[in-house]
Amino acid sequence: MLYFAYGSNLHHFQMKRRCKDSVFLKKINLKDFRLTFRSKYRAADIEPKKKSIVPGGLFEISKSDEKKLDVYEDFPILYKKHYFYYYGKKIMTYTMVKKTPFRYPTERYLNIVKRGYKDCNLDKKYLKKALMPSW
């Protein structure tokens, strides 16, 4: 199964620890969505936004990996599954159920996401933009 990571799961070491079968394939952009941070966990979320993109990592994961991610993402309470197609391939990601207001992420969490951006060679400008919710 294909999984799109856009938050702390971009961090290769953490993702491997969580999902032992996961394989990073490449970086891709999810169109017409934007990155934000919210909830009491101050975690990453994506929401529809025209002419915006969310860079992320495309991973191949197993069924058991998916079950582990479901637990980690507190599915279906905190996050629900969102499916989209990328060049004809069905891809799964998670989006938050409750679209609460923006909350700046903790330094620890943000550092993991930043490391993930480096691991996947993503453009940090989208992360910087997400941290300035006034736009």
50 occurs within a structural domain = yes
41 occurs within a structural domain = yes
Predicted local distance difference test score (pLDDT) of residue 135:
53
Please count the structural domains in the chain: 1
**CATH number of domain containing 28:** 3.10.490.10
135 occurs within a structural domain = no
DSSP collapsed to 3 states, the chain: CEEEECCHHHCHHHHHHHCCCCEEEEEEEEEEEEEEEECCCCEEEEEEEEEEEEEEEEEECCHHHHHHHHHHCCCCCCEEEEEEEECCEEEEEEEECCCCCECCCCHHHHHHHHHHHHHCCCCCHHHHHHCCCCC
> For every one of its 135 residues, what pLDDT tens digit does the chain have, with 9 covering 90 and above?
999 999 999 999 999 999 999 999 999 999 999 999 999 999 999 999 999 999 999 999 999 999 999 999 999 999 999 999 999 999 999 999 999 999 999 999 999 999 999 999 999 999 999 999 765
Which residue range forms the structural domain that includes residue 6? 2-130
Rounded to two decimals, the pTM is 0.97
